[in-house]
Amino acid sequence: PMKFEPAGKIILDLEALYEHPADEVAPIARYARAIQQQRGDYNGRMLSIRADDLSALAIVYDTTPSGLVERLTELGVLISDPHEFLNREN
Ligand code: C2E
Ligand code: C2E
Ligand code: C2E
């Protein structure tokens, strides 16, 4: 079992992620593109990711899953409420 269980789903804002200038997010962007390909999920503006994959990415970033969520939130590439996000964009 995981030591850390995020409060909700981890959802990436793909537009923010893919257009982000910081080199720091480049590996996450490559990862998200690979997941989109594996799922055949090409048209979304957001991508829900597995808790297991968040844990793996946290190791790559030398942090904890909660630490990575905090950092991605600071960088503005996470969506906290997908319904609010869709209403805002449409
Ligand atoms: P798989 O892990 O054998 O999953 C097969 C199918 O089960 C997935 O097809 C999806 O329809 C469903 N599925 C599995 N786990 C979940 C889940 O937590 N939530 C939902 N909504 N559906 C789930 P799909 O999406 O076409 O993915 C095909 C394969 O691509 C997956 O086979 C897996 O090997 C890989 N994959 C896709 N997304 C991810 C991901 O986020 N992380 C990882 N590590 N692999 C992924
Ligand atoms: P939700 O998980 O709260 O997602 C809300 C909306 O965010 C989705 O509306 C979709 O527009 C977007 N979204 C979230 N994650 C992804 C993603 O990984 N890829 C893409 N392309 N879009 C994403 P949608 O599709 O109308 O789904 C409404 C609700 O239906 C979802 O709410 C969820 O509760 C359920 N749902 C849809 N597909 C699946 C699925 O494959 N597995 C499960 N378990 N539930 C699903
Ligand atoms: P979700 O579809 O609402 O699934 C929530 C949780 O239920 C998943 O959390 C996972 O623990 C479990 N689950 C759902 N379907 C399956 C399944 O087919 N096999 C297994 N072993 N467990 C399943 P998790 O893994 O943290 O994933 C979070 C969200 O990421 C999922 O929410 C879904 O939106 C997305 N996701 C994860 N893996 C896949 C995938 O392979 N394909 C697709 N299309 N979406 C995925």
Q: Is the Cβ atom of 66 under 6 angstroms away from ligand 3?
A: no
Q: Is the Cβ atom of 41 under 6 angstroms away from ligand 2?
A: yes
SS (H, E, C) 2-29: CCCCCCCCEEEEHHHHHCCCCHHHHHHH
pLDDT value of residue 38: 97
CATH of domain 10-89: 1.10.10.1930
Report, as ranges of residue numbers, the positions in the chain whose pLDDT lies below 70.
1-7, 89-90
Structure tokens that stand for 62 in this block: 């030398």
pLDDT value of residue 29: 97
Which residue's CA is minimally distant from atom 26 of ligand 2? Answer: 83
DSSP per position, 71-85: HHHHTT-EES-HHHH
| Dist. CA 19–CA 61, nearest whole Å | 20
- Give the three-class secondary structure for 64: coil
pLDDT value of residue 90: 65
pLDDT value of residue 8: 76
ipTM of the complex model:
0.87
